[in-house]
Amino acid sequence: MHTSNRILQGIPASPGIVIGRARVLSDRGNIQEHFRLLYSEEEQTQEVARFLAAVDQAQEDLTRLKEDMEEEFPEHSHLFELHRLLLKDQMLFDEPLRLIRENRYNAEWALFRSFEKVKDLFRRIEDPYIKGRMADVESVYRRLMGNLAGQVPLFPASAPSSDPLIIVARDLSPAEATQMASSPVVGFVTERGTRTSHTAILAQAMEVPAVVGLDRATKEINPGDEIILDGLLGRLILNPDAETLEKFRRRRREFDLFKAEVARFSSFPAKTQDNHPTRVLANIELPEEVQLALKSGADGVGLYRTEFLYLRLRHLPSEEELFQDYRLVVEAMAPREVTIRTLDIGGDKFLSHLQYPKEMNPALGLRAIRFCLKEQGIFRSQLKAILRASAWGRVRVMFPLISSVQEIREARRLLGEVQEELRRQGQPFDDNMPVGAMIEVPAAVTLAGILAWEADFFSIGTNDLIQYALAIDRGNKQVADLYQPLHPAVLRMIQQVVEAGAKAGIPVAVCGEMAGDPLHLPILLGLGVGELSMNHMAIPMVKKIIRMFTLEEARRMAREVMDMVTVEEINRYAAQEMRRRFPEVFRFGSALAGTAQP
């Protein structure tokens, strides 16, 4: 007998509330990586042919999916082009072929061993957004393994259903998620995944509610169970009673009305009721995301992460490859401004000839500006590409993880040398391209009053700053609850940086997750932050909230919290104010902005 109203908690990945019957894919993703040694050249030839046939089939399937996606969701069709590129990646194509030919491995084992090497590479990456791209590599790996094993489609034609279905699986690829558009599937829940994975992003675009990171979901949920999937809070209610069903149907109607209301604000200027403007910008990592940013009403790009091109290619990207990538973004956003962050990973993360040992603590190691100043050839190439792109629109460049005056001076010196090279070559660029410093470590906060005279703008990376300031790894479940954006120390650091920027006459932005959280918004504006850069999903919500209060009200809130000494009282005060002033925003705002916590 099923227990009524049993609650399971995961991570909210795509907002919305749906009700349906569980379709449990318990064996999906259980790939058998069996080992077999090849004894003859004929067997080797056959295995090479099997592997190449699996790759060809994957290319054909992804091409078809890309064409289908271009019709309904053109801004997301790039996901399948990315997967096609990964099919020819050195580690997923060349390496398995080498292992078949040289080590006499069967195709499945060669692919498995190659994939393990890629996983080891991604384990060393700290940035959650780049780390999240491992899901794309794994999706391609699973597709190839499925082709080798003759695996059936996720939604076979022989299994129709008239009832709304909620898929329960270990994991889902973006390709599998797209099949939901022509099926009775109304939502999904997975044991793995993050809210920044491409599958989650695609679910958001398709408006399919989703919950991810729910451990043992395929074991805890039975086929046919009735489920309420609450993508706002990342929660499932199994076999709800009549009262609970009615409660969530009412909540769903309220959320749908609120969502429609918020969407209107994407085209409105972000001005407080007393006409104080704030720039609301988008964080992106791929050129194709520009259309999502524009559709959401972004005033520009406040953070263009440039690391993925270095991780995607089999070689170090050339200046020309980087330039073409940046130019696409700059042209598409024109006349809006694009802020390009220089490389923010270390040498041990490259799939290239660079030989750096694995670090015990990469977050505190050779990464970001430290790596760029050491590998000046790589840095110069990127700086040239950024400068050349500045001829095609408004561009700012910013250096990550600045911790000393010497670092930004040395970076600017190299930038000046590169500018001279481009002048001699007759290459056009913006002579007055603004240069910024990311404030992500306590040392930079302490030196903010000095750094402000060396930079044209500041951008506070609150994700890293909170971790470094509070000595917390938020990926560690033992201490994750101590990751508190409204901690008094964090707020005082933000205040110190804003005041240093104001004194030097330079703008200060916040580009971490804190920028898109409705709970934090009035406090940040009250402290004097003038630019907010966030996930595109959060932009309409943030604009709506900004237009609902005056700057003086925000300053009053900021003064109140700066007199408080514990994070508990600050969180309580902020929540009470939001509930009192913006009850609908408090109920649904964080979920719609993609910042809700389970």
Q: How far apart are CA 188 and CA 14, in angstroms?
A: 10
Question: Which has more pLDDT, 353 or 214?
Answer: 214
Provide, rounded to the nearest whole percent, the portion of the chain with pLDDT above 70.
Answer: 85
pLDDT at 574: 92
SS3 494: helix
Full 3-state SS string of 285-297 = CCHHHHHHHHHHC
pLDDT at 74: 66
Biggest alpha carbon distance in the chain?
A: 80
Going by C-alpha positions, the residue among 326, 306, 241 that lies closest to residue 4 is 241
- CATH number, span 6-28+164-260: 3.50.30.10
For the segment 245-255, what is each residue's pLDDT rounded down to a tens digit? Answer: 999 999 999 99
Residues 448, 501 contacting (CB under 8 angstroms): yes
Class of 41-149 in CATH: mainly alpha
Residues 195, 212 contacting (CB under 8 angstroms): yes
Measured in whole angstroms, the distance separating CA 78 from the mean position of its chain's CA atoms is 15
- Enumerate residues 6+ apart whose C-beta is below 8 A from 235: 7, 8, 9, 10, 211, 598
pLDDT at 242: 94
β-strand partners of 282: 301, 534
pLDDT > 60? residue 355: no
pLDDT > 90? residue 436: yes
372 is catalytic: no
For the segment 40-85, what is each residue's pLDDT rounded down to a tens digit? Answer: 888 889 989 999 998 998 888 888 877 776 666 666 666 677 777 7
511 is catalytic: yes
pLDDT band with cut points at 50, 70 and 90 for residue 136: confident
> In the predicted model, what is the mean pLDDT of residues 414-428?
97
For the segment 577-588, what is each residue's pLDDT rounded down to a tens digit? Answer: 988 888 877 777
pLDDT band with cut points at 50, 70 and 90 for residue 199: confident
SS3 content of the chain, % helix, strand, coil (to 5): 55, 15, 35
Look at the chain and count its residues: 598
CATH architecture assigned to 450-597 = Alpha-Beta Barrel (3.20)
> In the predicted model, what is the mean pLDDT of residues 95-117?
88
pLDDT at 128: 62
pLDDT > 50? residue 348: no
Question: Which has more pLDDT, 91 or 489?
Answer: 489
Q: Enumerate the known binding-site residues.
A: 305, 341, 440, 463-464, 474
Distance between start and end Cα atoms, the chain? 28
pLDDT at 37: 83
For the segment 207-218, what is each residue's pLDDT rounded down to a tens digit? Answer: 899 999 898 999
pLDDT at 245: 95
For the segment 308-345, what is each residue's pLDDT rounded down to a tens digit? Answer: 777 766 678 899 999 999 999 999 999 999 999 999 87
Q: How far apart are CA 289 and CA 197, in angstroms?
A: 14
pLDDT at 272: 96
Minimum mean pLDDT range among 141-150, 262-271, 375-384, 445-454: 141-150
pLDDT > 50? residue 156: no
Full 3-state SS string of 540-595 = HHHHHHHCCCCHHHHHHHHHHHHCCCCHHHHHHHHHHHHHHHCHHHHHHHHHHCCC
Provide, rounded to the nearest whole percent, the portion of the chain with pLDDT above 90.
Answer: 51
Domain spans of the chain, in order of start: 6-28+164-260, 41-149, 277-433, 450-597
Question: Which has more pLDDT, 574 or 480?
Answer: 574
The residue behind tokens 């509070």 is 470
Topology (CATH level 3) of domain 277-433: TIM Barrel (3.20.20)
The active-site residue, picked from 76, 198, 520, 536, is: 198
Q: Enumerate the known binding-site residues for phosphoenolpyruvate.
A: 305, 341, 463-464, 474
Residues 490, 465 contacting (CB under 8 angstroms): yes
pLDDT at 592: 65
pLDDT band with cut points at 50, 70 and 90 for residue 400: very high
> In the predicted model, what is the mean pLDDT of residues 227-234?
93
pLDDT > 90? residue 292: no
> Does this chain's domain 277-433 share its CATH topology with 450-597?
yes
pLDDT > 60? residue 358: no
pLDDT at 73: 65
pLDDT at 126: 63
pLDDT band with cut points at 50, 70 and 90 for residue 159: very low
For the segment 538-579, what is each residue's pLDDT rounded down to a tens digit? Answer: 899 999 999 999 999 999 999 999 999 999 999 999 989 988
The active-site residue, picked from 83, 372, 487, 511, is: 511
The chain-wide mean pLDDT, for the chain, equals 86
Question: Which has more pLDDT, 99 or 413?
Answer: 413
pLDDT band with cut points at 50, 70 and 90 for residue 4: confident
